Amino acid sequence: MNNYYAILASLGVAVLLSPEITVLGLIAASDQKRPRTFAWAFGIGTIVGLAFALVIGFLLAQTHGSMPEEHHQGTWVGFTVRATIASALFVVGMYRLVNAIRNAPIEKTPEQEERSLKHRLVHWFKSKFPAITKRFDGSIDVSTTERAIRWGLLGFACDGLHPKIFPIVTAAGHEALQVAESSERVIGIVMFAVIALIPGLIPAVVETVHPGVSARIKEAFESFMKRYGRLISAAFILAVAAFVGNNARNDMPGREPAEVPAAPAVVAPAAVEKSPAAIPAPQ
């Protein structure tokens, strides 16, 4: 199997084991008013967000000429893009690994939330744009349509903008364009998308098939992800980071690829001319 298929599958599993997406989807599916509608709105948002981040990865691959049909020498742009992707994957992988080892809770405590950069940015945005943030305030009762739009935008942000997910999806889009054959490239993209969309769509599917189950499985899911999910996804992400980092090293300008010594040519032995046997003279 193509190496890039394994890379895309590993990145898909890393998104699949991201607890943030499924937990938010289960919260949407646990709504008291329209759980099915909000769960599907969240799932559709994750589809759009995943497509957005994949397109960013495609553009990065085309920007520095890393298409497989383009035979080019290493460039600093290509090296920088690959090194940045590898570094981002390494940071995300180490973050998940450290949290898994520390057995840290998936959801932050109120004290941790107040000290986070996200809280500061949200506070600044609320002070500057109060009319816009009022529409996204969960404590205010709004219409069903507005709440569905809110959940859809949240799903988009999870797969398209989240700092723990965006580097993974972007790397998948970048690596997908390294596949030589266009048909195999499409298969790789579809394979990654199917795996990566499971956490965003499974709450909607569960709520559609078995209404009311989402609230009960949320705690069991968080317990599993806290114990095993982050550790497994960290292993996949760090492995892909090493692969992309190695490609960045090979793409560094001025670095000559290692040459494999050619096997000695096999030369057919030349025909040996035999002199005619000496005929003894008659006595």
Domain membership of residue 268 (yes or no) is no
Cα–Cα distance, 224 to 269 (Å, whole number): 69
Where is pLDDT greater, at 20 or 89? 89
Domain membership of residue 30 (yes or no) is yes
Region of residue 231 (phi > 0: left; psi between -120 and 50: alpha; otherwise: beta): alpha
pLDDT at 67: 55
**Residue 178: which of 192, 161, 199, 164 has the closest Cα?**
192
Number of domains in the chain: 1
Residues 6+ apart with CB under 8 A from 85: 60, 167, 170, 171, 174, 244, 248
> Taking the CB of residue 65, how many other CB atoms lie within 10 A of it?
13
pLDDT at 140: 58
Where is pLDDT greater, at 244 or 130? 244
At residue 39 the predicted structure's pLDDT band, cuts being 50, 70 and 90, is very high
At residue 282 the predicted structure's pLDDT band, cuts being 50, 70 and 90, is low
133-166: b or e for each residue (b if 16 or more CB lie within 10 Å)?
eeebeeeeeeeeeebbbbbbbbbbbbbbebebbb
Rg of the chain in Å (alpha carbons)? 28
pLDDT at 106: 62
Mean pLDDT over 109-136 rounds to 62
Domain membership of residue 259 (yes or no) is no
C-alpha of 71 from chain center: 26
Highest mean predicted confidence (pLDDT) among 13-27, 46-60, 199-213, 245-259 = 46-60
Domain membership of residue 146 (yes or no) is yes
pLDDT at 260: 39
Average pLDDT over the chain, rounded to an integer: 78
Where is pLDDT greater, at 158 or 126? 158
pLDDT at 189: 93
pLDDT of residue 108 exceeding 50, the answer is yes
Look at 14-18, 56-60, 126-130, 217-221 and tell me which has the smallest mean pLDDT.
126-130
pTM: 0.74
Extract the tokens encoding 114.
């107040």
- In degrees, to the nearest 5, what angle opens at C-alpha 84 toward C-alphas 182 and 231? 90
Mean pLDDT over 113-137 rounds to 62
At residue 71 the predicted structure's pLDDT band, cuts being 50, 70 and 90, is very low
Look at 66-75, 172-181, 250-259, 273-282 and tell me which has the smallest mean pLDDT.
273-282
Domain membership of residue 117 (yes or no) is yes
pLDDT digits (tens, 9 = 90+) for 158-216: 999 888 899 999 999 988 888 878 888 899 999 999 999 999 999 899 888 888 777 77
Query: DSSP assignment, residue 69?
Result: T
Domain membership of residue 273 (yes or no) is no
pLDDT at 195: 94
Domain membership of residue 217 (yes or no) is yes
pLDDT at 261: 45
pLDDT at 18: 82
Domain span holding position 46? 3-184+194-250
Domain membership of residue 189 (yes or no) is no
